[in-house]
Amino acid sequence: MQFIKRTFLVTGASSGIGRACARCLLEQGHEVIGLSRNVQQFTVEHPRFSAVELDLSELIDLPGHIKHLLKHYPAIDGIIFSAGQGQFGSLEEFSFTQIQALINLNFVSPSFLAKGFLPALKRKPLADLVFIGSEAALAGNRKGSIYCASKFALRGFTQALRDECAKSNVRVSLINPGMVRTAFFNTLNFEPGDHQSQHLKATDVAEAVLYVINTRSGIIIDEINLNPANKVIRFKK
């Protein structure tokens, strides 16, 4: 393991996995730029934390925002892609707009960010792109056609990008968690079970991220799959 103070951009930093990643990175001494749609949801006062308000779903403005981030935070040498949304239902229940929005946020926006930052990251002595995927990237399930598609796309993207970056100092990793007890489920009609063996915590995923970035130079953790010991889905009344 190597513990070098670095600068990380964390998307979706206002809640859930993104917030846990931001906190863990700060605790380890890193600089963190936290990206979220509403920075008021995570107002931590820390000398090494900067909050940036940005809606990643607005793709038309994203290239300009990326240029702004590169100019104002040139030290960034790692990105944790935590932003995402869950929406489930049969394909016929989705509107065309909902399909596009889910794919844009879960797949297209991280690909835009990666493309925009990649030239600068390749000039760093060490850089990490860590994507938070999902168990939905491993097998398609009923009511999950669009969500699974977005996560399958992200998984294929990371596999190809890892190969593209193999001769550089940029490491590309993917973490696929099972059900994590976060606000992700607030708008859904189901959630994981209450027992600690029936769900993951956001800190479990954050610790996997730390493992990936602290691995010594020359080593790449391709993919990590995390799951609770007992998979229990509880439907809300």
In a domain, 18, yes or no: yes
In a domain, 188, yes or no: yes
What pLDDT was estimated at residue 52?
Answer: 92
CA 7, CA 152: separation in Å to the nearest integer? Answer: 28
CA 72, CA 87: separation in Å to the nearest integer? Answer: 34
pTM for the predicted model, two decimal places: 0.92
Number of Cα atoms under 13 Å in the Cβ half of residue 230: 8
In a domain, 176, yes or no: yes
In a domain, 112, yes or no: yes
CA 113, CA 132: separation in Å to the nearest integer? Answer: 14
Sheet holding 7-11, edge to edge: 49-53, 31-36, 7-11, 78-81, 127-132, 170-177, 223-226
What's 32's domain CATH number? 3.40.50.720
How does pLDDT run across 61-117, given as a tens digit for each residue? 999 999 999 999 999 999 999 998 888 888 999 999 999 999 999 999 999 999 999
Walk along the chain (237 residues) in steps of 10 and give the mean pLDDT of each run: 83 90 94 88 78 91 95 97 86 93 95 97 96 90 89 96 95 90 64 70 92 92 90 71
In a domain, 217, yes or no: yes
Q: Which domain holds residue 181?
A: 7-235
Q: How many domains does the chain have?
A: 1
Contact 125, 169 (CB under 8 A): yes
Bridge partner list, 9? 33, 79
Among candidates 64, 56, 21, 63, which has minimal Cα distance to 42? 21
Joined tokens for residue 108:
């297209």
In a domain, 2, yes or no: no
In a domain, 165, yes or no: yes
